[in-house]
Each structure stands twice: as C-alpha cells, then as structure tokens.
C-alpha cells in the first residue's frame, strides 16, 4: 500500500491531502497528469498545527499533478495474520 501526503496549492489556499494511492493518469505527451486517491482527508495549512482533518466523502479523489507542490510517499506491506480465518 502506498500512502500519499500531497501539498496542493488551490489559488490562495494551501491544503494537504492524505490518502491511499490508487492509480495515476498520463497526459497525451506521456507525462503525469493526475493521481487518483482513496480514503482521502484534507487539512488547510494556514495555521500550524493544522486543525482537525476533514474526511472527503466519495469513492476517489483526483488531484491534478500540476497543482501539487510537494509529495510525501510512505510504502507499507500488508500481510495476513497467521492463522486468521478466511470468510
């Protein structure tokens, strides 16, 4: 699993989005166009520490790559528990 924290500039506001990376879209010239994220939340960065995170409803959030100022990626390995019952 890849967890993303993306710093995004939207006009005068700067927001950090945190979510599970799902997939990406390429532009016609082969460059990165946008990122598709799941289980997303956001927090404005006008004050530090930022206020409580706001959950974003919906199946997916798509961020335009051109609006992303900074990305932090965290890679996690998900493993099944030994002896867990499969339903």
pTM of the complete model: 0.79
Nearest-angstrom CA–CA distance, 61 and 41? 9
Domain ranges of the chain: 2-75
Do 76 and 16 contact (CB within 8 A), yes or no?
no
- pLDDT for the residue numbered 81: 61
Residue-wise pLDDT for 64-84, tens only, equals: 999 999 999 999 987 766 655
C-alpha to C-alpha distances, 16 to 9, 46, 58, 69, nearest whole angstrom:
9, 11, 18, 10
**Model confidence over 28-62: pLDDT tens digits?**
999 999 999 999 999 888 766 767 889 999 999 99
Q: What is the fold, at CATH topology level, of the domain defined by 2-75?
A: SH3 type barrels. (2.30.30)
């Amino acid at each position: 699993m890849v967890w993303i924290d993306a710093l995004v500039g939207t006009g005068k506001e700067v927001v950090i989005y945190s979510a599970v990376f799902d997939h990406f879209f390429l532009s016609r010239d082969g460059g990165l166009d946008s990122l598709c994220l799941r289980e997303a939340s956001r927090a404005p960065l006008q004050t530090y520490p930022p206020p409580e995170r706001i959950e974003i409803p919906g199946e997916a959030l798509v961020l335009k790559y051109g609006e992303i100022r900074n990305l932090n990626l965290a890679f996690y390995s998900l493993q099944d528990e030994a002896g867990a019952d499969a339903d």
